[in-house]
A = this chain, B = another copy of it.
Amino acid sequence: MTASPLTFPQGFLAATTAAGIKPSGRTDLSSVVSDADCTWAYAGTRSSAAAACVTRGRELYAAGRPVRALVVNAGNANAATGPQGEADNAAMAAELAGHLGLEADAVLTASTGIIGHPLPMDRVREGLTRLPGALADEAGSFAAAIMTTDTRPKTAEARLSTGARIVGTAKGSGMIHPDMATMFAFAFTDARVDGEVLRSAFPAIVNRTFNAVTVDGDTSTNDMALVLANGRAGEVDPAEFLTALEGVMRDLARQIAADGEGATKLLTVRVSGARTEAEALAAARTCCVSPLLKSAVHGNDPNWGRVIMAVGRSGAAVDLPEMTVRVQGTPVFAGRPLAYDAAAVSTSMRAEEVVFEVGLGVGGASGEAWGCDLSAEYVSINAEYTT
Contacts and interface: CB of A to CB of B under 8 A. Distances in A.
Interface of A: 45-50, 77, 79-85, 114-118, 174-175, 177, 179, 216-221, 289-292, 295-296, 298-306, 308-313, 315-318, 320-321, 333, 335-337, 342-343, 346, 374-376, 378-387
A82 B322 CA distance: 10
Nearest to A338: B116
Contacts of A385: 296, 301, 303
A106 to B, nearest CB: 27
Closest 7 CB pairs of A and B: A115-B305, A299-B383, A49-B312, A82-B336, A295-B382, A376-B376, A47-B312
A298 B81 contact: no
A187 B246 CA distance: 53
Contacts of A179: 313
Contacts of A346: 387
A310 to B, nearest CB: 7
Contacts of A317: 48
A299 B80 contact: no
A315 B45 CA distance: 12
Given A48-B311, A81-B337, A221-B312, 11 more contacts: A46-B313, A48-B313, A79-B308, A80-B337, A117-B337, A179-B313, A217-B291, A218-B310, A221-B308, A300-B387, A301-B383
A291 B372 CA distance: 14
B303 A80 contact: no
Contacts of A321: 82-83
Nearest to A345: B387
A308 B80 contact: yes
Contact of A82 (B337, B380, B386): B337
B384 A299 contact: yes
B115 A296 contact: no
Contacts of A302: 386-387
Contact of A290 (B114, B217, B303): B217
Given A301-B386, A374-B379, A292 B337 contact: no
Nearest to A84: B336
Contacts of A80: 305, 308, 320, 333, 336-337
A174 B292 contact: yes
Contacts of A305: 77, 79-80, 114-117
Given A337-B118, A376-B376, A295 B49 contact: no
Contacts of A310: 218
A116 B308 contact: yes
Contacts of A383: 295-296, 298-299, 301
A231 B195 CA distance: 71
B116 A333 contact: yes
A291 B309 CA distance: 19
Specify which of A50, A305, A336, A343 lies most central, judged by the most chain B CB atoms within 10 Å of its CB: A305
Contacts of A306: 115, 218
Given A337-B80, A383-B298, A318 B49 contact: yes
A292 B291 CA distance: 13
A273 to B, nearest CB: 14
A205 to B, nearest CB: 22
Contacts of A342: 386-387
Contacts of A218: 290-292, 306, 309-310, 313
Specify which of A45, A221, A304, A312 lies most central, judged by the most chain B CB atoms within 10 Å of its CB: A312
A301 B387 contact: yes
Nearest to A311: B49
